[in-house]
A and B are shown apart, each in its own frame.
Chain A
Amino acid sequence: DVKVTQSSRYLVKRTGEKVFLECVQDMDHENMFWYRQDPGLGLRLIYFSYDVKMKEKGDIPEGYSVSREKKERFSLILESASTNQTSMYLCASRGGRGPYEQYFGPGTRLTVT
């Protein structure tokens, strides 16, 4: 079974702090994704990566950056956290390119105060 793990289940940070969310997958998948999920808005894609050191902006990249130094690890960085970044953050991985299924981690509930 594919396993996607996220570094924290719950996180509380202050406005202006730099926040790192880490995601690791164990199935040698090429593709990794970061989403945020908010009530009424569904899942929105922040960034994704097709390969090591490669990244592409999703639908809502503002205020975020990413890093993929190793194939299995994809990090989401909030350079200066703001209260409107309080959300559920979900990491996913997918093998190959095309219409293949995504496998999600358990999520990180981030609260910015």
Chain B
Amino acid sequence: TQLLEQSPQFLSIQEGENLTVYCNSSSVFSSLQWYRQEPGEGPVLLVTVVTGGEVKKLKRLTFQFGDARKDSSLHITAAQPGDTGLYLCAGSPKTSYDKVIFGPGTSLSVIP
């Protein structure tokens, strides 16, 4: 069974702090996406990474795909209350190109 694990499950921080959330698997993924979901809404795509070692930046968010394409991280610098939400990673396994697997998510709360 191909699984994506995310850690931590819950995170509550003060505005202005930095944080990192992780997405890990024992399987190799051909690509990996990060989504943010606000309460009562559908997930919104933030980024896709496809190359091992790739780093992408989106304003204060930095995404990294592991060299072996089995893991990814999301780093937020100077978190703001607007960053609050559920962060989901999703990947397409190398052995099952069309399939997309979602992790359980990291619930982030940024306190003003």
- A residues in contact (CB < 8 Å) with B: 4, 9, 40-43, 45, 90, 92, 97-99, 101-107, 109
Cα distance A41–B33 when bound, in Å? 19
Main secondary structure of the interface of A (DSSP, over half): loop
Partner of B105, one of A42, A45, A102: A42
Which residues of chain B have C-beta atoms less than 8 A from A98's C-beta?
A: 30, 92, 97-98
Contact A107 B42, beta carbon cutoff 8 Å: yes
Cα distance A36–B35 when bound, in Å? 16
Q: State how many angstroms separate the Cβ of A94 from the closest Cβ of chain B.
A: 8
Which residues of chain A have C-beta atoms less than 8 A from B92's C-beta?
A: 98-99
Which residues of chain A have C-beta atoms less than 8 A from B30's C-beta?
A: 98-99
Which residues of chain A have C-beta atoms less than 8 A from B98's C-beta?
A: 97-98
Partner of B42, one of A40, A45, A97, A106: A106
Contact B40 A42, beta carbon cutoff 8 Å: no
Asked whether B50 is an interface residue with its Cβ less than 8 Å from the other chain, the reply is yes
- In the complex, which range does the number of interface residues on chain B fall in? 20 to 34
Which residues of chain A have C-beta atoms less than 8 A from B45's C-beta?
A: 101-103
Given contacts A43-B88, A99-B92, A99-B97, contact A104 B43 (CB under 8 A): yes
Asked whether B72 is an interface residue with its Cβ less than 8 Å from the other chain, the reply is no
Which residues of chain A have C-beta atoms less than 8 A from B35's C-beta?
A: 104
Cα distance A101–B92 when bound, in Å? 10
Partner of B40, one of A4, A104, A109: A109
Question: Interface digits, B28-40 against A, CB 8 Å rule (1 contact, 0 not)?
Answer: 0011010100001
Q: State how many angstroms separate the Cβ of B110 from the closest Cβ of chain A.
A: 20
Given contacts A42-B102, A42-B103, contact A101 B42 (CB under 8 A): no
Cα distance A62–B97 when bound, in Å? 24
Contact B41 A106, beta carbon cutoff 8 Å: yes
Q: State how many angstroms separate the Cβ of A67 from the closest Cβ of chain B.
A: 21
Q: State how many angstroms separate the Cβ of B39 from the closest Cβ of chain A.
A: 10
Cα distance A103–B45 when bound, in Å? 7
